[in-house]
Amino acid sequence: MSPNPHVAIVGATGAVGAEMIQTLERRRFPAGRLTLLASARSAGKSLKFRGEPHPVQELKPDSFRGIDIALFSAGGGISREFAPRAAADGCVVVDNSSAFRMDDRVPLVVPEINAADIAAHAGIIANPNCTTAITLMALYPLHRAFGVRRIFASSYQAVSGTGARAIEELRRQVAQIVAGQPVTREVYPHQIAFNVLPHVDSFLPTGYTKEEMKMQNEGRKIMHHPSFRASVTCVRVPVYRAHSIAVSAEFDKPVSLDAARAALQGAPGLAIVDCPEKSEYPMPLFVAEKYDCEIGRLRLDCALDNGLCFWVAGDQLLKGAALNAVQIAEELLRLPR
Amino acid sequence: MSPNPHVAIVGATGAVGAEMIQTLERRRFPAGRLTLLASARSAGKSLKFRGEPHPVQELKPDSFRGIDIALFSAGGGISREFAPRAAADGCVVVDNSSAFRMDDRVPLVVPEINAADIAAHAGIIANPNCTTAITLMALYPLHRAFGVRRIFASSYQAVSGTGARAIEELRRQVAQIVAGQPVTREVYPHQIAFNVLPHVDSFLPTGYTKEEMKMQNEGRKIMHHPSFRASVTCVRVPVYRAHSIAVSAEFDKPVSLDAARAALQGAPGLAIVDCPEKSEYPMPLFVAEKYDCEIGRLRLDCALDNGLCFWVAGDQLLKGAALNAVQIAEELLRLPR
């Protein structure tokens, strides 16, 4: 890998794409060149990177010739179609979709947890589900200390996880309600303003959604923990940005609050915000646009014998998507040539 | 008890008080007279009952002479001060505050679950916590079928649970944001518009809030199940009305979806709204102003061996407060004289 790689962003005009451009810039990623790719509909637009306008080009099968690293965030269909072609052209793909996450040949990586898995890539590396990544940022340090057996979790997911059109839908519905107008829907099956929807992603025959099962499936792969169990309810809430997750976690070893805090204290990418008597705890409004995830409301779980209950929040466009992808790209630069 | 009792509402001008008046009227409660009581600040106002204006009177120690049933919803302090006086004057108090719920001499009642406990009252009967009542409406039929051991739950609680001022706070903050003005706070410690707060009621030394522990403490008393365990995270969400709760429940006996549905089917006060493939599940926006609680998202829990995961929503001003209180009053009329 060149020390100044030619980077492409696929889905550059989407909510995550915009964050990818900004994150590359803010973290001073040493890209030699940046190519922005999107559907024909968005081609011709121009986006700024390091103060310079960059044209958005139409994504085509031969778009990846000469590209070193491609960050994909344009949905599973685009990834399935174009990521293998990009890899065949010698480009390393960091894919934000769910298309390849459970593929045995594809590392699924949260760099703070399993950066070492990246070395085994064969051209594609997967970025995990946003809710899973944020939860694991808090859970993994506790797992290392106590050995997690299973978790029970409920999410509070922001509309930006669905994309730019969902942000617009919440904004429009709120304006309609304030103006006393009828509420219109385009993205979600029900009004999201002043409502919550226990429905993220599509339903499986078991009654869980795909999103809900990602916690267990992706968590097992990322933590190298094949017996990890996770029962999750994923819920969309009328918040613009950042996901929150309430977790009860059962461990193999006895837990204590002091040992738990010690385990969390030095964890990279995680801040402890836990002073409830001063009303200090993580909240989506205040974790939005931050790189670090935040854990708080830490307590011994009253319904588990070796359990901890906690609350974690993180910006799902950053740690749940763009930041994690850029961190993987940074790790790629550190691989021996 | 007279078949046409003289009823008083204490806290008549509050969010729950207004629902109590309306619920008495809609359920054709055979009140011979209705007396509305509130603080000196609200005295002099007039509220309609059965089409007739009723003056709001100032609550005083002698307000309960001649009253048969008093529905209290004016906070724990008022209940502690006035409920025992009312009872001493021969009035039966149905108290919506937490003041007497855990008192051994005070029945704590959800009529669909433990109406029989009412007969043992000594002048005061307690209405349970709203989140607890709504959760138990779904859990109790499953407990009867399978024997619940413990639950892990997370709530999505509407601002009206805090009262009329909190409804106004959410409305004001949304209007401020739409108008591009700075957001002001009076009720909650942080902005609630487009945010979620993992903070309902005050914090205990264990790290749980009082609200969170009500599920276990009140659940044990209502279900007559002293070993019931409940680990809960209570979260305020920007929803005006109706609470929702995500639950993982572990049972003594093996569970099946068919047996669970059969147990829920005939449960009084509960509707099954569970057709996820048609995007049908309970939501606060649509359960608001309904008497019945709604259960959906029912599935075998993937992290428990005898477990069910489900989602329940209910109007916390009705089943969580006013309706439950009026139902208790209805039961009082059925007691043998």
- Distance, in Å, from the CA atom of A328 to the CA atom of B300, rounded to the nearest integer, reads 36
How close B259 gets to chain A, by Cα (Å)?
Answer: 16
Closest CA to A319 of A288, A278, A295: A288
Task: Give the DSSP letter string of B115-139.
Answer: GGGGGG-SSEEEPPPHHHHHHHHHH
Whether the CB of A238 is below 8 Å from some CB of chain B: the reply is yes
How close A317 gets to chain B, by Cα (Å)?
Answer: 16
- Distance, in Å, from the CA atom of B329 to the CA atom of B334, rounded to the nearest integer, reads 9
- A214 neighbors A98 (Cβ within 8 angstroms): yes
Angle ∠(A204,A205,A210) on CA atoms, nearest 5: 10
Which CATH superfamily is B132-316 part of?
Dihydrodipicolinate Reductase; domain 2 (3.30.360.10)
- Distance, in Å, from the CA atom of A183 to the CA atom of A254, rounded to the nearest integer, reads 51
User: What is the band of A336 on the pLDDT scale with cuts at 50, 70, 90?
Assistant: confident
| pLDDT tens digits in sequence order for chain B, 337 residues long | 899 999 999 999 999 999 999 999 999 999 999 999 999 999 999 999 999 999 999 999 999 999 999 999 999 999 999 999 999 999 999 999 999 999 999 999 999 999 999 999 999 999 999 999 999 999 999 999 999 999 999 999 999 999 999 999 999 999 999 999 999 999 999 999 999 999 999 999 999 999 999 999 999 999 999 999 999 999 999 999 999 999 999 999 999 999 999 999 999 999 999 999 999 999 999 999 999 999 999 999 999 999 999 999 999 999 999 999 999 999 999 998 7
Select which of A91, A130, A234, A293 is catalytic. A130
pTM of the model: 0.97
pLDDT digits (tens, 9 = 90+) for A228-265: 999 999 999 999 999 999 999 999 999 999 999 999 99
How close A73 gets to chain B, by Cα (Å)?
Answer: 25
**Chain A residues touching residue B235 (CB < 8 angstroms):** 156, 244, 246
- What ipTM was reported for this prediction? 0.96
CB contact under 8 A, A303 and B178: no
Please state the rounded mean pLDDT for residues A204-224.
Answer: 98
**Chain A residues touching residue B233 (CB < 8 angstroms):** 154, 246, 297, 309, 311
Q: Which of A297, A300, A312 to mutate to test the interface with B (most CBs of B within 10 A)?
A: A297
Query: SS3 of B278, please?
Result: helix
Element (H, E) at B273: none
**Chain B residues touching residue A304 (CB < 8 angstroms):** 231
Confirm whether B143 is a catalytic residue.
no
What does the radius of gyration of chain B's CA atoms come to, in whole angstroms?
20
Please provide residue A253's backbone torsions phi and psi, each rounded to the nearest 5 degrees: -95, 155
Indicate the fold that domain A6-127+321-334 takes in CATH.
Answer: Rossmann fold (3.40.50)
Q: Which of A191, A309, A311 to mutate to test the interface with B (most CBs of B within 10 A)?
A: A309
**Chain B residues touching residue A178 (CB < 8 angstroms):** 174-175, 178
Confirm whether B91 is a catalytic residue.
no
- B105 neighbors B123 (Cβ within 8 angstroms): no
- Distance, in Å, from the CA atom of B268 to the CA atom of B273, rounded to the nearest integer, reads 14
pLDDT digits (tens, 9 = 90+) for A108-127: 999 999 999 999 999 999 99
Q: Which of B196, B281, B302 sits opposite A283 (nearest CB)?
A: B196
Element (H, E) at B248: strand B243-251
Closest CA to B332 of B71, B145, B9, B44: B71
> Where do the structural domains in chain A lie, given as residue ranges?
6-127+321-334, 132-316
Which residue from B minimizes the CA distance to A156?
B196
**Chain B residues touching residue A298 (CB < 8 angstroms):** 207
Query: SS3 of A280, please?
Result: strand
Q: Are strands B243-251 and B148-156 parallel, antiparallel or unpaired?
A: antiparallel
Query: SS3 of B28, please?
Result: coil
Range list of β-strands (E), chain A: 6-10, 33-38, 46-49, 52-58, 69-72, 92-95, 124-126, 148-156, 229-233, 243-251, 270-272, 293-300, 307-314
pLDDT score of A254: 98
Whether the CB of B189 is below 8 Å from some CB of chain A: the reply is yes
Identical fold between A6-127+321-334 and A132-316: no
CB contact under 8 A, B233 and A309: yes
Q: CA-CA distances (angstroms) from residue B268 to A30, B137, B140, B293? A: 65, 8, 11, 10
pLDDT score of A112: 98
CB contact under 8 A, A299 and B229: no
Whether the CB of A297 is below 8 Å from some CB of chain B: the reply is yes
**Chain A residues touching residue B256 (CB < 8 angstroms):** none
Please provide residue A204's backbone torsions phi and psi, each rounded to the nearest 5 degrees: -100, 165
Residue identified by tokens 């997967």 is A126
**Chain A residues touching residue B237 (CB < 8 angstroms):** 156, 196, 237-238
Please give the span between the terminal C-alpha atoms of chain B, in angstroms, as a whole number.
6
pLDDT digits (tens, 9 = 90+) for A255-297: 999 999 999 999 999 999 999 999 999 999 999 999 999 999 9
Neighbouring residues of A15: CB distance < 8 A, sequence distance ≥ 6: A160, A163, A164, A167, A317
Q: Which of A139, A148, A151, A154 to mutate to test the interface with B (most CBs of B within 10 A)?
A: A154
Burial tier of B282 (Cβ tally within 10 Å: 0-12, 13-18, 19+): buried
Give the B window 41-80 contacts with A, CB below 8 Å.
Answer: none
Whether the CB of A272 is below 8 Å from some CB of chain B: the reply is no
pLDDT score of B335: 92
Query: SS3 of B12, please?
Result: coil
Please provide residue A154's backbone torsions phi and psi, each rounded to the nearest 5 degrees: -130, 140
CB neighbours of residue B252 within 10 Å = 11
pLDDT score of A1: 84
- Distance, in Å, from the CA atom of A60 to the CA atom of A65, rounded to the nearest integer, reads 11
